[in-house]
Amino acid sequence: MPGTPRTYAANAIQRGPADLWLGVTLDAVTGKVTLAADGTPDATANPTAKHFGLLAVPSVYNYTPKPEFEAVDQDTAPVAAFANTEEMVIEATLSQLQFNAVLAHCMPAGVFSDSASEGITVGLGGDILMTPVPLCVVAPSSDPAYKWAVATMRKAVPTGAIKLELGRSKTATYQAQFKALSDLTVAAGARLGSVYKTL
């Protein structure tokens, strides 16, 4: 009897630096972002896109389904599983403190101002409304059959604790975390975002 082929493919091991973008425009059906040839969001299709800049450590994209198992009296093991809840999170440690371009979206800010005479201010506290923003992570694909590995989040809200490290002995970084809200205008199956490789 013939055996089953092994699918060893070293070039399918994903490795490489990623760029994190906010304010991108995602396709209403697929959740994909239109990219330019260099892997950045296409400026025409994504006029409000902003780059997170340099990252201190790799960004983390985490999707966690939390199933609920259905047991029956006729058997000792569950016979069905239903996705009771699911969670999508993006984490990043930023090396560039871009208050005007990025950090205003990383905090549940109450007040934001950019003044030529007073500088940039991000006010905190007392604002209960959190405005979501779409995000995407783009990395060059290690597989030569594809160009880019991409992960997107349709409606991201900041959830991480604000930890801004400032000191002489260590480079200042900002730890940001975003959690996805479900986009109820999208068909079930693509309401949080998507993960894909481009040709």
Task: Parse the chain into domains and list their residue ranges.
Answer: 16-69+87-198
> How confident is the model over 143-149, as a mean pLDDT?
90
Q: What confidence score (pLDDT) does residue 106 get?
A: 72
Given a cut of 70, whether residue 126 has pLDDT beyond it is no
> What is the tens place of the pLDDT at every residue in 152-162?
999 998 887 66
Contact 71, 110 (CB under 8 A): no
Q: Do β-strands 109-115 and 148-158 pair in parallel, antiparallel, or remain unpaired?
A: unpaired
Alpha-helical segments (H) within the chain? 104-106
Contact 81, 70 (CB under 8 A): yes
pLDDT band at 167 (very low <50, low <70, confident <90, very high): confident
Given a cut of 80, whether residue 11 has pLDDT beyond it is yes
Rounded Cα gap, residues 194 and 199, in angstroms:
16
**Phi, psi for residue 138 in degrees, rounded to 5:** -130, 130
Given a cut of 70, whether residue 41 has pLDDT beyond it is yes
> What is the tens place of the pLDDT at every residue in 61-94?
999 999 999 999 999 999 999 988 999 999 988 8
Rounded Cα gap, residues 145 and 14, in angstroms:
13
Rounded Cα gap, residues 31 and 117, in angstroms:
40
Q: What confidence score (pLDDT) does residue 125 get?
A: 62
Task: Label residue 6 exposed, middle or buried (CB < 10 Å: 0-12, 13-18, 19+).
Answer: exposed
pTM over 0.85: no
Q: What confidence score (pLDDT) does residue 9 get?
A: 86
Encoding tokens for residue 107? 């905090």
Q: Which of the pair, 8 or 120, is modelled with greater confidence?
A: 8
- What DSSP state is assigned to residue 124? E
Q: What confidence score (pLDDT) does residue 183 get?
A: 95
The β-bridge partners of 85 are 66
